[in-house]
């Protein structure tokens, strides 16, 4: 029970509520009771390479990725005065999302994490003095993330890592601008966009006939086109709505039923809302408190952890999206695509229900599957050193892999810590744990 109590306190403390005390590392935390609230462009010679590597401080931490997790970790490292360098374009994956998209997560689960809770969504809203709709528009969230970065992580390097290797106990990074550097610790905080999943039936189809929802920010080019959207999660449902509103002839095809998240008790507010819905907002009532305690999740047997993960994030759409889909878009639930064949003016689909249809474009809302072996910059020899399970790195409580001082956060940490790693809400625990580990080892 002490672990459970600490983790539940962590869930309450960690979401940017001003009335709640600042969270401390879990090992020292006494929780409040729940109900109380590329490739390198330059080939350097051996001597030049050594000079380039020597320019980097020996105890520097490299954070690869400048999304919610990367920025949150950098903010925690900066607070501890730990030398760090952050590589990547700020919120790059998010900038490839549809322009009119809204966040599925609620307000309390959408703040990036700085150690002092100084740069939460509430603080930005107060300082910006602008009205904002709920659900949270992507444009507003990107403005908030930019403000967070300027305040908490002012120094970024807008270049990407093309190679990460491990030599003689040190990490060597090759950058896309041709530079190389050597660091003591690496945190891989890349987004899930590079892990977009394409089912077998669509992998060999040309881009003009099949694409993933993550590839589109604008749906106007599909005006008057016949488009089949595969999937029943938020991305598939919202993309289907965007396509319909852009004038496309849309059909939604899903292996299971189309579900909508209701949160009936959430709307009542008060004690019921506090009791049934933690600020992290991941999973259904009951499981959501457990999902909001990733360090506790990591202690569960792998099989149980995976069953909880599957149930907590099963495909479903936000309730505010339902009026834009129900009764407006043709839906074919409980049907799988068995075969896809190109034809003169598009594609021919054959479904498991025995029907066929001709379409102009197939759009895949089939989610993301983070895997070590698909990280483009990870050197093969380093990849082989990382213990993995089901394609994910196996991590300790510090989000550290079997290779000392190599950390993975975000979606890549999902096998060890559960579904919260897919969401912004998981950034606080990850940032706190990584920063504490780095400080301890310094």
pLDDT at 3: 47
Q: Answer yes or no: are the C-beta atoms of 135 and 104 closer than 8 Å.
A: yes
For residue 47, what are the CA distances in angstroms to 52, 54, 173, 349, 439? 9, 11, 17, 58, 32
For residue 87, what are the CA distances in angstroms to 84, 100, 160, 187, 250? 10, 27, 6, 10, 39
Q: Does the structure show a pLDDT above 70 at 171?
A: yes
Lowest mean pLDDT among 33-42, 280-289, 357-366: 33-42
What is the token pair recorded at 169? Answer: 């106990």
- Residue ranges of E strands in 168-294: 170-175, 180-183, 185-188, 210-212, 226-230, 249-253, 260-261
Integer-rounded Cα Rg, in Å, for the chain is 22
pLDDT at 46: 42
Q: Answer yes or no: are the C-beta atoms of 187 and 434 closer than 8 Å.
A: yes
For residue 65, what are the CA distances in angstroms to 159, 173, 299, 316, 327? 10, 13, 27, 28, 40
Query: For the residues of 49-95, what is the DSSP string, one character each?
Result: HHHHHHTS-TTPEEEE--SHHHHHHHHHHHHTT--EEEES-TTTTGG
Domains of the chain listed by start with CATH number = 36-193+368-441 (3.50.50.60), 200-259+315-364 (3.50.50.60)
49-88 pLDDT per residue, tens: 433 443 444 589 999 999 999 999 999 999 999 999 999 9
Give the span between the Cα atoms of 370 and 114, in whole angstroms: 25
Q: Does the structure show a pLDDT above 80 at 114?
A: yes
Packing angle of the helix pair 427-441, 68-79 (nearest 10 deg): 40
What is the token pair recorded at 230? Answer: 């595969």
pLDDT at 87: 97
Give the span between the Cα atoms of 394 and 407, in whole angstroms: 10
318-373 pLDDT per residue, tens: 999 999 999 999 999 999 999 999 998 899 999 999 999 999 999 999 999 999 99
SS3 272: helix
235-281 pLDDT per residue, tens: 999 999 999 999 999 999 999 999 999 877 666 667 777 788 889 98
Give the span between the Cα atoms of 346 and 369, in whole angstroms: 28
Peptide bond into 135 cis (omega under 30): yes
> What percentage of the chain exceeds 70 in pLDDT?
86
- Residue 242 burial (C-beta neighbours within 10 Å; 0-12, 13-18, 19+): buried
> Phi and psi for 143 in degrees, rounded to 5?
-65, -40
How many CB atoms neighbour CB 302 within 10 A? 13
Q: Which helix (H) or strand (E) holds 348?
A: strand 346-351
Q: CB within 8 A of 179, min separation 6: which ones?
A: 42, 52, 159
* Mean pLDDT calculated for residue range 177-187: 96
- Considering only residues 166 and 42, tell me which one the structure prediction assigns the higher pLDDT: 166
């Amino acid at each position: 029970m002490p672990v459970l109590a600490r983790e539940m306190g962590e869930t309450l403390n960690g979401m940017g509520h001003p009335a709640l005390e600042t969270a401390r590392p879990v090992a020292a935390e006494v929780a409040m009771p729940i109900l109380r609230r590329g490739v390198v462009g330059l080939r350097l010679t051996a001597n030049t390479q050594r000079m380039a590597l020597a320019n980097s401080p020996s105890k520097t931490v490299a954070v690869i990725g400048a999304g919610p997790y990367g920025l949150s970790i950098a903010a925690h490292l900066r607070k501890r005065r730990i030398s760090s360098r952050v590589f990547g374009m700020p919120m790059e994956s998010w900038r490839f999302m549809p322009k009119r998209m809204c966040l599925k997560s609620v307000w309390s689960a959408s703040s990036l994490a700085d150690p002092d809770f100084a740069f939460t969504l509430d603080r930005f809203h107060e300082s910006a003095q602008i009205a904002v709709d709920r659900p949270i528009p992507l444009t507003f969230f990107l403005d908030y993330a930019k403000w967070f970065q300027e305040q908490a992580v002012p120094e970024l390097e807008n270049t990407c890592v093309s190679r990460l290797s491990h030599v003689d106990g040190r990490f060597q990074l090759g950058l896309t601008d041709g530079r190389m550097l050597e660091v003591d610790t690496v945190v891989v905080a890349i987004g899930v966009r590079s892990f977009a999943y394409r089912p077998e039936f669509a992998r060999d189809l040309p881009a003009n006939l099949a694409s993933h929802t993550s590839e589109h920010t604008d749906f106007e080019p599909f005006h008057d086109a016949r488009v089949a959207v595969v999937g029943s999660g938020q991305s598939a449902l919202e993309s289907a709505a965007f396509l319909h509103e852009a004038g496309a002839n849309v059909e939604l095809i899903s292996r299971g039923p189309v579900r909508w998240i209701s949160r009936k008790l959430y709307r009542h507010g008060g004690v019921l809302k506090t009791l049934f819905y933690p600020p992290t907002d991941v999973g259904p009532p009951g499981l959501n408190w457990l999902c909001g305690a990733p360090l506790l999740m990591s202690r569960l047997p792998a099989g149980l952890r995976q069953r909880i993960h599957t149930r907590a994030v099963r495909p479903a759409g936000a309730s505010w999206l339902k009026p834009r889909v129900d009764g407006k878009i043709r839906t074919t639930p409980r049907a799988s695509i068995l075969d896809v064949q190109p034809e003169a003016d598009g594609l021919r689909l054959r479904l498991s229900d025995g029907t066929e249809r001709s379409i102009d474009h197939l759009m895949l809302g089939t989610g993301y599957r983070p895997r070590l072996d698909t990280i483009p910059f990870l050197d093969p020899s380093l990849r082989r050193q990382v213990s993995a399970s089901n394609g994910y790195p196996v991590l300790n409580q510090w989000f550290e892999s079997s290779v000392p001082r190599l950390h993975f956060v975000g979606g890549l940490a999902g096998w060890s810590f559960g579904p919260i790693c897919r969401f912004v809400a998981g950034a606080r625990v990850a940032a706190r744990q990584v920063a504490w580990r780095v400080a301890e080892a310094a």
